[in-house]
């Protein structure tokens, strides 16, 4: 019989890593790396919430360039952070390093609406095969 210690993941790295990189008192870059799904999205949501609670914060950049998979729970976490930023008058920018698979999920959910998009994101839009919204 196998125990949990006998099972080795084919991906030994963490499923999700989120790192905050302050750029002065008012600006933070949040690097998101790995899979963002129903089991890991609570970590992303908590990290976004922590950064949005920083006193004096004016700009949060969410860098999803290292995201391999973005599920509905991850899209929801980013959309919720964007809503909170709008309510508080903060800027939320999205950086994706050309990760069209991640951008497509956000685009299909309408979560790109109202976000500030860095040049790499804006250049990738509209995505091939996108359906124009009226």
pLDDT digits (tens, 9 = 90+) for 5-28: 444 445 555 589 999 999 988 999
Q: CA 97, 100, 105, 106: dihedral to nearest 10 degrees? A: 40
To the nearest 10 degrees (0 to 180), the angle between helices 41-52 and 72-88 is 10
pLDDT at 109 exceeding the cut of 50: yes
More confident position, 54 or 114: 54
Model's pTM, two decimal places? 0.81
For the beta carbon of residue 58, count every other beta carbon within 10 angstroms.
15
The domain defined by 26-124 folds into Transcription Regulator spoIIAA (3.30.750)
């Amino acid at each position: 019989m196998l125990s949990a210690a006998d099972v080795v993941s084919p991906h030994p790295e963490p499923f999700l890593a989120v790192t905050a990189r302050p750029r002065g008192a008012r600006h933070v870059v949040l690097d998101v790396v790995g899979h963002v799904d129903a089991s890991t999205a609570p970590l992303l949501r908590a990290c976004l919430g922590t950064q949005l609670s920083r006193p004096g914060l004016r700009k949060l950049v969410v860098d999803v360039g290292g995201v391999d998979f973005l599920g509905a729970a991850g899209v929801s976490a980013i959309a919720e952070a964007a809503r909170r930023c709008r309510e508080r008058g903060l800027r939320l920018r999205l950086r994706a390093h050309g990760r069209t698979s991640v951008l497509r999920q956000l685009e299909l959910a309408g979560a790109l609406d109202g976000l500030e998009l860095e040049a790499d994101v804006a250049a990738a839009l509209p995505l091939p095969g996108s359906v124009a919204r009226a």
